[in-house]
Structure 1
């Protein structure tokens, strides 16, 4: 099969479209003919070697932690899914084969919502898993106010929508150019940066209950003060979390508590209550450009790679 692979750590120049070993569905898995795969910061963190002390990869490695496509193999023990079904889901974290390929194995999945294109579905599962995991860790419940630092990105937009579906009020930091975009998602926008607490005061007169840091811009000390304690803050982007007593949440090998969010998100999408804003869609041969765009940290929504 064809796939994007890299054989060593490095910049985006190490990515190549080439022949790769074809994966097959194991017990409890399905294999899909991939139509699209998402790009996340974790993809280029891994590719660069930034995470090698905590999450090494085997070479050659195919990037892409989520994907959407058509099921063409069903593993032992799988029920409710058949060859020919359109699905979206998560690629096994520990395996060599990711979503940027002709075929990929999924370890968690849900039916593709009718209202989503394959590109939208291909970039959804990783962010749904992360958002669900974070909301559970924060015990986010109806009536609470959630502040998202970095709300306009892929994780921020998904967390905001899933939080609103739970009955939370969501305030999100972003540049002024993204305020209108956030308002369309039902998010109360606020400009990020120093003095955030003062700008929040009129927006959340009763205070902020819980905080997600999806930006990793060194603002944890201020976010902890705003929330009233480190136990009310979760980051997915600041490796300095321990110094502030804040939980750092990341995907692990094996079953994730966020997997249950996939079918729930699919239901919300079919109700017209969940969208996947796309920042850009790149063809497979431009995977390096997709990684470079993600690394700028300025994507509004999700970056996706389409697979022919």
Structure 2
């Protein structure tokens, strides 16, 4: 089979489309013929060799956590799923024609493989950071870098829970944030004053790692009410860095429920061929994302 891998840490140019042995589903797992793969910022952070607190990477290494596809192997002890089912979920080395998933759910009716691949990690992350930041119904949450995949999920889940959200993003994504129910403003010079004009901030999330932690602490008045998923300097500001994943089964169940009820939709901004993973990484690295980027297999 074909898979994307890298033999050294570095820029997007280290990614290669190579031949590899097919993986097989062990006990408690399923294998899918991959149709689409979610591209997450953690993917290029791993490729760059950033220290994320995860297990050490052994080179050469594959990439990818999220995938949507067709089940073609069911491991021992697995029930409730059969060969031929369309599923989405989380596994390892999903930038490939076949991948083993450790957690999965049946795709909601009407969802394409391309769309489904964009949900697992971002919904898990959104649920986790909302829990960690401790925001409650009736309060106001500031989301810095709100237009990407995690931001899109946070805005919609927070809205569902009765939380008011102020989101910052580029000028081109202001209407998008408003469509998701947020009070929107741009980042850049004067952004703190613009946020203050929109209302009091009870808690804040840094999803972009754009060097705004000091300002987020200033706006909330309490570093304990700020959580970052993107700025490794967070502890220097007394801010929590959220890097340990929560329950993927719970995240998938929540995603299926919200999607089925029409309360969650994360658009796919750009789709790439598997061979163009390097381009997808370069684009993701620049930010300015609306929704998700995915690889098509």
Same fold (TM over 0.5): yes
SS in 1 for 2:198: coil
- Provide the C-alpha distance between the structure 2 equivalents of 1:191 and 1:89, rounded to a whole number of angstroms: 33
- Provide the C-alpha distance between the structure 1 equivalents of 2:216 and 2:133, rounded to a whole number of angstroms: 14
- Provide the C-alpha distance between the structure 2 equivalents of 1:193 and 1:114, rounded to a whole number of angstroms: 41
Counterpart for residue 207 of structure 2: 214
In the alignment, is the contact (CA less than 8 A) between 1:115 and 1:270 conserved in 2? no
SS in 1 for 2:281: helix
**Correspondences of 1:23-42 after superposition (within 5 Å):** 23-42=23-42
Counterpart for residue 75 of structure 2: 75
In the alignment, is the contact (CA less than 8 A) between 2:37 and 2:64 conserved in 1? yes
**Correspondences of 1:217-256 after superposition (within 5 Å):** 217-252=210-245, 256=246
Counterpart for residue 187 of structure 1: 182
- Provide the C-alpha distance between the structure 1 equivalents of 2:112 and 2:2, rounded to a whole number of angstroms: 23
Instruction: Describe the superposition over 1:223-268 as per-residue Cα deviations: whole angstroms up to 9, x where unpaired.
Output: 011112011111000011001111101145xxx2354121111111
- Provide the C-alpha distance between the structure 1 equivalents of 2:67 and 2:285, rounded to a whole number of angstroms: 20
Instruction: Describe the superposition over 1:144-180 as per-residue Cα deviations: whole angstroms up to 9, x where unpaired.
Output: 2111100011111111112112221111001122101
Instruction: Describe the superposition over 1:188-238 as per-residue Cα deviations: whole angstroms up to 9, x where unpaired.
Output: 11111343332123322xx22221100111110110111120111110000
- Provide the C-alpha distance between the structure 1 equivalents of 2:42 and 2:101, rounded to a whole number of angstroms: 18
Paired positions, count: 297
Task: State the 1:53 CA deviation.
Answer: 7.2
Change (3 A) 1:166 1:53: closer
In the alignment, is the contact (CA less than 8 A) between 1:160 and 1:187 conserved in 2? yes
- Provide the C-alpha distance between the structure 1 equivalents of 2:244 and 2:68, rounded to a whole number of angstroms: 19
Alpha-carbon RMSD? 1.7
Counterpart for residue 90 of structure 1: 90
Counterpart for residue 95 of structure 1: none
- Provide the C-alpha distance between the structure 1 equivalents of 2:50 and 2:277, rounded to a whole number of angstroms: 19
Task: State the 1:55 CA deviation.
Answer: 4.4
In the alignment, is the contact (CA less than 8 A) between 1:152 and 1:178 conserved in 2? yes
Instruction: Describe the superposition over 1:93-128 as per-residue Cα deviations: whole angstroms up to 9, x where unpaired.
Output: xxxxx1110111111222212232111111211111
Compare 142-151 and 17-26 and name the one that shifted more: 17-26
- Provide the C-alpha distance between the structure 1 equivalents of 2:52 and 2:124, rounded to a whole number of angstroms: 22
* Structure 2: tracts of 5 or more residues without a match: none
Counterpart for residue 160 of structure 1: 155
Task: State the 1:273 CA deviation.
Answer: 1.3
Change (3 A) 1:251 1:34: farther
Compare 14-23 and 138-147 and name the one that shifted more: 138-147
TM-score when normalising by structure 1? 0.91
- Provide the C-alpha distance between the structure 1 equivalents of 2:166 and 2:52, rounded to a whole number of angstroms: 34
